[in-house]
Amino acid sequence: MDRSYRLSRRAFGAGLLGAGIAGAAPAQAQFGGLGNLVRSVTNEIGLDRVFGGEEPITTNLTDAVWGNPSLDGVDPPLAPAPMTSLERTDEGGFVLQPGYWQFVAQSYCLHAGTHGPGGGDGYLYAPLEGSREEAIRDILRNSVQHPEIEQRDIQTLIWAILARAKFEDLSNEHKLVAAQLLTRRQLATLNRSALDLVPSGAMSSLVGEVPAPLRAAFRAEAALRNGLAGGASYSELESIAVLTGAVPMGEGSIAVPSGRWSDHPDGYRIRYYPSGYSRTEVHIWCEEGSAGAGKRFDPSVQVAVPGNTARQRLAQSGREKV
């Protein structure tokens, strides 16, 4: 989500918060009897946290400042070698050496209610950030030590975090996955959010008041919460989170061709070639004598951000997609 989206989302929360504080007759009429709900939530945690506050993952195009257009169409003067031949780190990453390295990573949707990769749109590097950065990072890192866990179960867990779902509403299978990849402290933190205080019927009414540009994301998150609580299949959750059909140019988009390099702040170059949201080919170019030699490439703390903001932001793990 770009910065303007975040700010407008916060502004809507603040406006709704103000309506609850006022409690005047016009506000009561506008929200159809939700005035008491608005005030009760406001008094406890502030309604700004329901429709505003910091998102679980905030990384967006304005964070992807390392793209290097001068290298468009440029390939290293050597064939790529498999990144899996490098020394692995305890976090499931790789210790970089000079050369041109390639890794096909399992990747994950980080923005429900948007379109998957395609159409020649390029992706840029940005760091993983947000209020649930630690949990998403640890899920990705710890999944490397649990190859028996299906990728779709990991994605379901990530969608639950992004949608701020109640973990106690997840299936027993997904509770087990969560227990394997997250600590008890993290699970306790994730199991409660401001959204728990709003009944589902009231939430539907509130979402109806959301400005049109924000409504699709709110509805996708609400639909994911309901689907997870109701035991929806993976394909049903996927149809909610990953849009199909014609792809618009999202607000704040920029032209990024496929395969654009980003100059990573650790001293190497990186580019992404997604094939759908669940598979991303990662290329790293670490030149001889560069600061990148000896640095650790940790996929779990990096995000591939599309130039078109209507497409998915993608996380990667150190698990190879086969």
pLDDT > 90 fraction of the chain, expressed in percent and rounded: 69
Q: Which residue has the higher pLDDT, 52 or 264?
A: 264
Q: How confident is the model at residue 198 (pLDDT cuts 50, 70, 90)?
A: low
Cα–Cα distance between 232 and 141 in angstroms, integer?
Answer: 26
Give the per-residue pLDDT at 245: 94
| Closest residue by Cα to residue 121 from 81, 61, 55 | 61
Give the per-residue pLDDT at 216: 72
Q: Which residue has the higher pLDDT, 292 or 45?
A: 292
Rounded (10°) angle between helices 133-143 and 172-181: 90
Q: Does 202 score more than 80 pLDDT? A: no
For the chain, what is the HEC assignment? Answer: CCHHHHHHHHHHHHHHHHHHHHCCHHHHHHCCCCHHHHHHHHHHCCCHHHHCCCCCCCCCHHHCCCECHHHCCCCCCCCCEEHHHCCECCCCCEECCCEEEEEEEEEEECCCCEECCCCCECEEEEECCCCCHHHHHHHHHHHCCCCCCCHHHHHHHHHHHHCCCCHHHCCHHHHHHHHHHCCHHHHHHHCCCHHHHCCHHHHHHHHCCCCHHHHHHHHHHHHHHHHHHCCCCHHHHHHHHEECCCCCCCCCCCCCECCCCEECCCCCEEEEEECCCCEEEEEEEECCCCCCCCCEECHHHEEEEECCCCECCEEEEEEECC
Q: Which residue has the higher pLDDT, 22 or 243?
A: 243
Per-residue pLDDT of 265-292, as tens digits, reads: 999 999 999 999 999 999 999 999 999 9
Per-residue pLDDT of 139-180, as tens digits, reads: 999 999 999 999 999 999 999 999 999 888 899 999 999 999
Per-residue pLDDT of 206-222, as tens digits, reads: 666 665 556 777 789 88
Per-residue pLDDT of 231-257, as tens digits, reads: 999 999 999 999 999 999 998 999 999
Cα–Cα distance between 235 and 237 in angstroms, integer?
Answer: 5
The lowest-confidence range among 137-146, 181-190, 311-320 is: 181-190
Q: Does 18 score more than 90 pLDDT? A: no
Per-residue pLDDT of 300-311, as tens digits, reads: 999 999 999 999
Alpha carbon distances (Å) from 42 to 16, 20, 117, 185, 190: 10, 7, 39, 26, 20
